[in-house]
Amino acid sequence: MSTGSTNTLGKYEIIREIGRSNDIVYEAIDPTINRRVALKELAVPPNVTGAQRRERIERFWREGKAAGSLAHPNIVTIYEVGKEGERYFIAMEFLEGQTLRDVIQTGGPMSIKDVQNYGGQLCSALAYAHEHGVIHRDVKPENVQVLPGRLVKLTDFGIARLMGEAPIT
């Protein structure tokens, strides 16, 4: 983080950490246009070096490139893929709501209408991605965000395959 009074990464002002798995996700602000964003930072353990480190960085860049090449109402929007020093990040649309996993676990059985609605939106997102040479490869309830108004967004293109590019094992 910067040593100033506000934590930053690239041009983004970090508000708080909102998630952590393989990487760290922050709620942040793009001060240029005062837009709230989700800022995903690559987290590479210090013991990962050499080819493993390069592969992890390449996979992160590929995630940004895969999702960033797509413009669809049911796919999270990527605003920027960047690097500051040795820190890599992806700035994307901040999504309100909850994951489909949370919806399933807290809401009990879903209605047929909701299943059809969510399934239709997800199929639309996947069809669009496939038409544009992007294979998600990690579709699961944790990677589907349900927004207010029952809009669905597909997220996390971390292991996506870009057709025409060599795969990363």
Active site amino acids: 138
As a whole number of angstroms, the distance between CA 113 and CA 108 comes to 14
- State how far the Cα of 22 lies from the Cα of 63, in Å rounded to an integer: 13
Block residue for tokens 């690559």: 42
Structure tokens at 71: 């413009």
Q: Which residues contact 21 (CB under 8 A, 6 or more apart)?
A: none
With tokens 């590019």, the residue in question is 165
